Structure 1
């Protein structure tokens, strides 16, 4: 069962009071269920899916075999998938559009849901737009060409500030408008060291707060902001954006001052001597200190920032290489505890995202457990009550307890705000997850034929499900 439905490690219990009322019981207090229930995730159409479930159809295994599945549950999960990977065009859904088809290139077509529940103030059923197409392109260059020529009705995810002038220059030709929206991403690139590294020397080094302080101070975030984001972002560490009642100014600024002298002093204090050439530092055991920063090979932006960091750290004697990896291979290495430095774009840090899902940026492994940036074996230990993994230090156990209680506390109470502040403060002081530049405006283009679309002032962020927040069912196309 999904973790969202098993807080405290025990699956929820559901009992039906009558045909229209059911009761959900959890092993621990779980007020965040209120945030989860309005989404598509918890719901599935029983009348349709029962045919693939052995509880309702004795021939479910045979039916699955006829469809070339190995077992009934494989067929059930295939037909129940209502996410962006949906393949069953007959599945009833709650959304405004329903999956219609997908070609061999992955281009997907959706048609309006004739049973969608939403109506406008005049009583007209939504959505206004009859059909959506999600097109797959080979690379960013092809995407840019399609945007400039006006082939995209709207797009944002892979547009960059670096190309913002290019988008603006071609607005008339492409018949679109370029917008800059506030975004709540905590850091466009962040990283964590592997705190459970198999190499005992590196593990001890990574867990020394002076090491993390030093390498954070060695990063010139202001320069990254100018070179990569036209000075429009905020140099910061990936602590929640200002907004929650428990926020305090300065939480995102711990160890962000660019200070090479301070960085060198901290590294000297640890005892990291230079090699005979005076170029790079040695490990505490006297061996060369050489680390690898692994990044998703499909994210050139992360590699570019990684190479800037490589140069900043070389200036204080720390030698790293930046290595692009296939994403699946990279994630596999992190799960296997084989990496030195894990890198990702640090979204998912906001109050509603952290509360509804889990505080992935505020406890090990500082990302989803399937993509552990730092300390994957700590998370194993925490998830299995010490049966597997490596026992974390007391401060991590304290942090874990704080985040668990925070999610269980009703929103807005004094205790909720107290725990929220503790969660941020512990992370800020210990710098397990280090950031670069965040709160960078997000670029979007939207065709001039679209009406009821967002304006420059509207937030466009993964923290609020991107375009979902702007109610696309209310958009319409002017002929």
Structure 2
């Protein structure tokens, strides 16, 4: 548990050092990036000393085993579509509180934070002099505006505050203590508030108020809002405000940011440019304001072209659009095209998982999927060793969808549950269910007589998915089940899942395969509509019970209850016990069917890009892909 005492101890990571290195002969002008010197000379920007907070966050590179860098350069990367620009704030990873490489929570945008012993009262202190990218002050007013004028505004948030800000349906009490200090107080324990602020897409509790007030009905006359709505091609001020304020979708170059780079391009475009934030809050130990890199250049491509383009040197940093199957191609091109290939270990609970939809709209199939014998049989029909050797050179771990050995919650029993290839046992389970073959046919049939033809849907983002499904097909057919693959696009895939239209989905396993007991186990219980084993139930809790349907399976309701217990737990031992109960239920019930984890993922960079770790954990949460490894510290060594 984070208490006032150990929260304050975290401030070592944000210690204030002199902006000029002690004993250095460097002049102030040497601390100014060349990229910004012209703007400073013309008076369009104040000098760097006036742009930094009085107590910036100092990144101690030497302690991290990295080298202090130099300014300059454009980093090129390839994205599989315009949606790929959303990866920039995820990887830039400026958060009020964020994870470091060891996955400890540390203050980042905040100067400090305090949490009471019951995890009910959270006090946040901002950095004096910190500014948004447009130069406007970052103060408590940005938190007040977000809470009172946006979240509590019934037109902007029709369902009220988001579910992850409620305890037993009740929101916190919000207070502004002074210009740089805010406090949130709940009536009961709120154990995952800090973790939610550290997410790849964090819980939104502050917004650039100076900018956004020009789009809010409380601060502007209706005539002006009508003019702005016409300009932005929306129907009313509510849609207007939502459109211009989407921080996780960097499509509005005018929206101020606190990230390392700010967007300069509006969609649609084939190339998106981000440039350095002149008011960024981090410095290295020599007093140089980060980031080192001046520009990011995101070039729109397609997922099937990205591997070849990367191997030919068209990307300076690439991880999206690549799979382990591309490693040989990348390694072959390493010397000739001046790239460097690293292999990071994927942090998901499974690199590929099947999700029988327990909320599927077809009642006959739904009953089959809800029978644990069917889910166990499907898991036993997967030859994980064959997949591992064919697609991962035997380097991955054959496992159910569960936490990894790097997690303190790991148990062999969770990983091995129904993860053996045993067609005979699978056949027996299906026979017990009464899913018999008809005379002169090897095809099994449903209770209503229809053949057991399963359509497995993918988001169409990886050939790995179809390769694995192809390896599975024969084993399923021999057991009397035919499987067919349907590939769509992610948006279509999600809409079909939420509508109960997908029979069985393919997705990754647990996003966070390396949790501690202090991280919420919400992924193990219905809590979001992108949980493809029960999307309709997940929507119910995500929407604060206004959409979707409540679960009606006792074992799933037990998971919901355990999640509630975790949220009210007051010590680490209680949280650990609850985590293990939930992991054991998943191991026994096989709600999702994992295949392999700890697979390797290629991360390709320009040969002279420095401070990118040789090895790392690759995953969405809690790493935010490269976020915890601080891309603002990456730099080009032009002398190499």
Q: 1:449 aligns with which of 589, 608, 626?
A: 608
1:125 shift after superposition:
0.8
The answer to whether the aligner puts 1:222 opposite 2:385 as a matched pair is yes
SS in 2 for 1:466: coil
Q: 2:486 aligns with which of 320, 323, 333?
A: 323
1:388 shift after superposition:
5.8
Which stretch shifts more, 154-163 or 389-398? 389-398
1:194 shift after superposition:
2.0
Give the paired residue count.
471
Q: Which residue of 1 aligns with 2:590?
A: 431
Q: Which runs of 5 or more residues in structure 1 are unaligned?
A: none
Q: Distance in 2 between matches of 1:306 and 1:354?
A: 34
Q: Distance in 1 between matches of 2:188 and 2:220?
A: 34
Q: Distance in 2 between matches of 1:175 and 1:418?
A: 50
Q: Deviations over 1:226-283 (max 9, x none)?
A: 1122211111111122234333222121101111111111112222211223321122
Q: Which runs of 5 or more residues in structure 2 are unaligned?
A: 1-160
Q: Distance in 1 between matches of 2:545 and 2:590?
A: 25
Q: Distance in 1 between matches of 2:375 and 2:198?
A: 40
1:115 shift after superposition:
0.5
Which stretch shifts more, 425-434 or 339-348? 339-348
Q: Deviations over 1:74-124 (max 9, x none)?
A: 2222222222x2222232211111111246434211111110010111111
1:295 shift after superposition:
1.5
1:221 shift after superposition:
0.6
Going from structure 1 to structure 2, the CA distance change for 1:468 and 1:388 (only over 3 Å counts) comes to: closer
Q: Deviations over 1:329-366 (max 9, x none)?
A: 23222212122112212241335599767623x1237x
Q: Which residue of 2 aligns with 1:71?
A: 236
Going from structure 1 to structure 2, the CA distance change for 1:7 and 1:94 (only over 3 Å counts) comes to: farther
Q: Deviations over 1:16-47 (max 9, x none)?
A: 22222222133542122123345764321112
SS in 1 for 2:577: helix
Q: Is the 8 A contact 1:78 1:87 kept in 2?
A: no
Q: Distance in 2 between matches of 1:280 and 1:114?
A: 65
The answer to whether the aligner puts 1:166 opposite 2:329 as a matched pair is yes
SS in 2 for 1:110: strand
Q: Deviations over 1:33-83 (max 9, x none)?
A: 123345764321112211111222234623532423322222222222222
Q: Is the 8 A contact 1:221 1:235 kept in 2?
A: yes
Q: Is the 8 A contact 1:334 1:376 kept in 2?
A: yes
Q: Distance in 2 between matches of 1:388 and 1:118?
A: 43
SS in 2 for 1:250: helix
Q: Which residue of 1 aligns with 2:617?
A: 459
Q: Distance in 2 between matches of 1:173 and 1:201?
A: 57
The answer to whether the aligner puts 1:255 opposite 2:418 as a matched pair is yes
Q: Which residue of 1 aligns with 2:290?
A: 126
Report the RMSD for the aligned CA atoms in angstroms. Answer: 2.5
SS in 1 for 2:335: helix
Q: Is the 8 A contact 2:460 2:487 kept in 1?
A: yes
The answer to whether the aligner puts 1:337 opposite 2:496 as a matched pair is no
Q: Which residue of 2 aligns with 1:205?
A: 368
Q: Which residue of 2 aligns with 1:399?
A: 559
Q: Which residue of 1 aligns with 2:218?
A: 55
The answer to whether the aligner puts 1:348 opposite 2:506 as a matched pair is no
Going from structure 1 to structure 2, the CA distance change for 1:427 and 1:27 (only over 3 Å counts) comes to: farther
Q: Deviations over 1:111-151 (max 9, x none)?
A: 1111001011111111111111111113422x223212212
Q: How does 1:107-118 map to 2 (within 5 A)?
A: 107-118=271-282
Q: Distance in 2 between matches of 1:328 and 1:354?
A: 33
**What's the TM-score, normalizing by structure 2?**
0.69
Q: Which residue of 2 aligns with 1:272?
A: 435
Q: Distance in 1 between matches of 2:225 and 2:269?
A: 31
Q: Distance in 2 between matches of 1:223 and 1:154?
A: 32
SS in 1 for 2:176: strand
Which stretch shifts more, 110-119 or 5-14? 5-14
Which stretch shifts more, 165-174 or 295-304? 295-304
Q: Which residue of 2 aligns with 1:80?
A: 245
Q: Distance in 1 between matches of 2:445 and 2:553?
A: 26
SS in 2 for 1:224: helix
Going from structure 1 to structure 2, the CA distance change for 1:357 and 1:69 (only over 3 Å counts) comes to: farther
Which stretch shifts more, 428-437 or 43-52? 43-52
Going from structure 1 to structure 2, the CA distance change for 1:131 and 1:399 (only over 3 Å counts) comes to: same
Q: Distance in 1 between matches of 2:634 and 2:507?
A: 33
Q: Is the 8 A contact 2:360 2:501 kept in 1?
A: yes
The answer to whether the aligner puts 1:19 opposite 2:179 as a matched pair is yes
Going from structure 1 to structure 2, the CA distance change for 1:380 and 1:2 (only over 3 Å counts) comes to: closer
Q: Is the 8 A contact 1:307 1:322 kept in 2?
A: no
